[in-house]
Amino acid sequence: MKTFLVVLVFFGLTVRPGPLWSAEDQLEGGALAGERFRVLISSDAGGSDPDDLQSLVHYLVHADLFDTEGLISSPPGAGRARDITEVIDLYEQDFPQLSKVEKNYPRPDQLRGLVKQGATDPAPESGISDATEGSRWIIDCARRQDDRPLWVLVWGSITDVAQAVHDASDIKERIRIYYIASWNRKMDPNSFRYLEEHHPDLWIIQCETTFRGWYQGGDQSGDLENGRFVAEHLDGHGALGTWFAGLKAAGVDSGAIKMGDTPSVAYLLRGVAEDPTSPSWGGQFSRRADRPHWYVDRDDPDLAQGDKKGARTVSRWREAFLRDWQSRMDRCLPSH
């Protein structure tokens, strides 16, 4: 008995609770494993931070994997629908090359038809305002006859999604929301507050800090460093890649990775999308105890990157998600 206790105390003191992963972990599931998701993106592209434009480049070279149903221009800032179509114009230049490699890339004109203008201003105090082309499109897509839910990836303020849920609350059971909150939430606090107070049954990942792991932390050695990756694997790689190399996102160097919204896409690329508590390239979350489908950043200290809670649940996959993207950018090369 004494020996048993000694062993127990020894392990209790020296063995930490099991890590969430080991180095050899590989993720299964997701669009890269053949799952086909319906996707609608609500973005402030062209507004305050070019990092949405970076994220659109990443999304478009993965567009063969998704059934894209909508690209909504939403607040905050000066971004408008035409800012999204300008990125599609670049995609059009690379389309012959991309579609030579993979026939499932959507035609540029097909994508242009999915670009809709949402609200141009944040919501008033009530959190809701008038329907927009964007909010109506969200409702139309969500109500389509399809066994699969509509994945709504919110890269800007949640203004149009809140409006849609207000105008047609039946869509709640048809949508899965991955919301890059943080600054976007602060730019339109009313629309988010409306959802939080009136729709506790919403299925939503409220990502406040986990997304930072896309460009902070992880393996940044060699060509995986934010600037070097762009110089080596985007610059000169088609119209999209070369354009990306000239962008400067807020808080990072010119021609360097930020793409703070991309974890919402990466979440669908690798992992079990229906279970946000499981590992994915877009992070791993906790469910709010008081709500059935409301997920938030994990607050385990060892999963934080600095003060960014949960960021390491993204950055741990950095090499894998960047190598995937690299292979996609290589498709834009004529030699491919």
Tell me how far apart the alpha carbons of residues 113 and 90 are, in angstroms, rounded to a whole number: 16
- Between residues 69 and 261, which has the closer beta carbon with respect to Ca ion? 261
x-or-dash pattern for Ca ion, window 257-276, by CB under 5 A?
----x---------------
Q: Nearest distance from residue 83's CB to Ca ion, in Å?
A: 11
Nearer to Ca ion, 238 or 260 (CB): 260
Give the residue with the Cβ less far from Ca ion, 52 or 69: 52
Smallest distance, Ca ion to C-beta of residue 265, A? 12
Burial 99-138 (b: 16+ CB within 10 A, else e): eeeeeebbebeebbebbbbbbbebbeeebbbebbebbbbb
**CA nearest to 126, candidates 51, 172, 190, 54:** 190
CB of 263 to Ca ion, least distance (A): 12
Task: Please state, in angstroms and as integers, the Cα–Cα distance from residue 220 to each residue in 216, 303, 306, 316, following that order.
Answer: 9, 17, 16, 11
Amino acid letter at 310? Answer: G
Beta strands in 23-162 (DSSP E): 38-43, 67-73, 115-117, 150-154
**Selected binder of Ca ion within 37, 91, 155, 178 (CB under 5 A):** 155
Report in angstroms how near the CB of residue 70 gets to Ca ion at its nearest.
16
**Total residues at interface with Ca ion (CB under 5 A):** 5
CA distance 251 to 247: 12
In the complex, least distance from residue 211 CB atom to Ca ion, rounded to whole angstroms = 10
Binding mask 16-55 for Ca ion (x = CB under 5 A): ----------------------------x-------x---
Is residue 103 classed as helix, strand or coil in its secondary structure?
coil
Which chain residues interact with Ca ion by CB under 5 A? Answer: 44, 52, 155-156, 261
